[in-house]
Amino acid sequence: MNELKPLDLDFGEILKIVEADFGDYRKAYEIEKYIKQRIKAVCEFYLRYKDKPALFSDEQFTIDWKYDRLTGTYIVELGNRYTEYNYWLFKLAFKSVLDEELKVFNE
């Protein structure tokens, strides 16, 4: 199991990869820049829509959601099952990193 720790984009590790495969240090800077931009963008995406299923539904694609007063959370309907909205949103935002299939809307 991987140790849980904050994200650290280590330039040295990127440089090792580039050196081993290409030998061009400039590519490492470009890779680091690209990765940081992508992570920043996905964090902004998640924070924009966290706890805001109506806004997500208006700006991205339509989802069936409701507020569960018993638990105090938003719920998204995925076909014949329900899941907590923020959990689903996180999985959606980071699905390429988490390498998981995710049902994103009703079929």
Residues 64 and 37 in one domain: no
Is the pLDDT at 105 greater than 60, yes or no? no
In a domain, 71, yes or no: yes
Per-residue model confidence as pLDDT tens digits over 46-90: 999 999 999 999 999 899 999 999 999 999 998 889 999 999 999
Please report the pLDDT score of residue 75 as a whole number. 96
- Structural domain count of the chain: 2
- As to burial, measured by CB atoms within 10 angstroms (0-12 exposed, 13-18 middle, 19+ buried), residue 74 is buried
Residues 86 and 39 in one domain: no
pTM: 0.72
In a domain, 91, yes or no: yes
Residues 107 and 95 in one domain: yes
Of the two residues 75 and 97, the one the predictor is more confident about is 75
In a domain, 4, yes or no: no
Boundaries of domain holding 27: 10-49
- In Å, what is the CA distance from 48 to each residue of 6, 35, 59, 60, 79? 21, 20, 11, 12, 25
In a domain, 5, yes or no: no
Instruction: Tell me the mean pLDDT in the region 34-51.
Output: 88
